[in-house]
Amino acid sequence: MSLPPDFPFAHETPRPDRPIVVAANRLPVMRTEGGWSPSPGGLVRALLPMLRATGGTWVGWTGNPDDAPDPFELEGVDLHPVPISAREVELYYEGFSNDGLWPLYHDALRESTYDSEQWEAYVAVNERFAEALADTAPSGAIVWIHDYQLQLVPKMLRERRTDLVIGFFLHIPFPPYELFARLPWRTEIVEGLLGCDLVGFQRPMGASNFIVSAEQLLDVDADEDERVIHRPTHDVHVGVFPISIDVGDVEATAAGRATRQRMSQIRARLGDPEVILLGVDRLDYTKGIGLRLRAFAALLASGELDPERHVLVQVATPTREAVEHYQDERHQIERLVGEINGRYSRIGLPVIHYLYQTLPFDELIALYRAGDVMLVTPFRDGMNLVAKEYAAAHIDGDGVLVLSEFAGAADELTDAVLVNPHDDRALQEAIITAVEMHRHERRGRMAALRDQIRKSDVQGWADRFLAELEATADAAGAGAPASSTLAAPGAS
């Protein structure tokens, strides 16, 4: 879609005059009956047009074990698949990445598994990505690596290609040193990230935690005020880049006639309650879904909420279903939903409507619009884009967002009802505050939330990161800027 000329996003940041290569665990595509098609998601929508405009390349896994198609092109972007075996999916992805790093980086909410065989698979897959990038990237290119599955790649790639400009963005939190120190391979992870020219984080806290860890583990010379770590070969800049959403896309969908009709249908099918409370999360133990359900049940028990006037819709998107912690979380949530519905529902009108499924984008936007109170209560989250999507979808200017202090979005969305989700009574009080909030205050808060998210969209986030990455490289004289017409070489 095209934005009106007065839309507030000012994409005046110049794009780098270098070829760009993106590396992520997954390629930005999925297989359909008609072949490959772009995957949904804001990151894909932000980066694919940029790569198309620069003749760029995306390196990643197809998502299917033992899948090794030849490099191919989609909509003007070169895609370079990296094969991962079924055993490596078990060890590298489900094991080290999601049973080891994920809980540790989210405040050690669950015990991590530290297994040498899993670590060896993590190293092997990271080596394979580094080799693919070294073989694929044009001379002097920018290589932008994403997320916790590939933290060793920057150093491995720098050892192979000193001409490249290397950036890394961590989409999840980076833990304080006291927690990070539990990881047996903590030094190797930090050394891996220090192969970058620029390491980006969602929040200032993550950037500070990383610098402290580097100082503690490697005795580096760091300027914490300027967020620069000095290495013998190069300076590593550390930045804060809170990710955003495609606000224009959300608003355009929310304003559509089909969305308005679906929103009315949703309210009717829920029994036209006075207040619809809404939760939309991946089914992950970091999201605080169980605590949220218990708070809702406690308010029903106390009479502060009425099952004839207040209902909760909880969408839980399936994720990492082969990991035991996620299986346990699903069973606990479903048991809790059953208990609450058994106690407080009426025939044909459950008080909690629970959906364990992935909803299409347009259905999700209709749900956002139908929701009077949005509950975003993670114990720890890098950002949480649901909070931003909810505000963007409420083009009517109404609605209340209850937001955990421990979500990265809380740094920006200060007009939400902020809450510490570890405090059960505080969470109950926040829900009541939202439900009973006067219309004038609701609209004032929502206007402020919408003003904030419209200051920067996901494309602006990508442009800012790449502009700072190129600026740090230019200041250091890193790489030789390649002609913007230089295309990534094929891998035939």
Q: What residues are annotated to the active site?
A: 171, 381
Apex CA 75: angle with CA 69 and CA 80, to 5°? Answer: 30
Contact at 8 Å (CB) between 442 and 434? no
CA distances (Å), origin 315, targets 4, 263, 279, 287, 419: 33, 16, 6, 12, 21
Element (H, E) at 365: helix 361-370
Task: Tell me the C-alpha to C-alpha distance, in Å, between residue 391 and each of 245, 304, 314, 374, 409.
Answer: 11, 26, 18, 9, 12
Amino acid at 442: R
Both tokens of residue 419? Answer: 């809450």
Phi first, then psi: what are they for 219, rounded to 5°? 55, 45
Q: What sign does the dihedral 176-179-181-186 (CA atoms) show?
A: negative
| Neighbouring C-beta atoms of residue 454, cutoff 10 Å | 17
Q: Which residues pair with 58 in a beta bridge?
A: 22, 79
Q: How many CA atoms lie within 13 A of 436 on its CB side?
A: 9
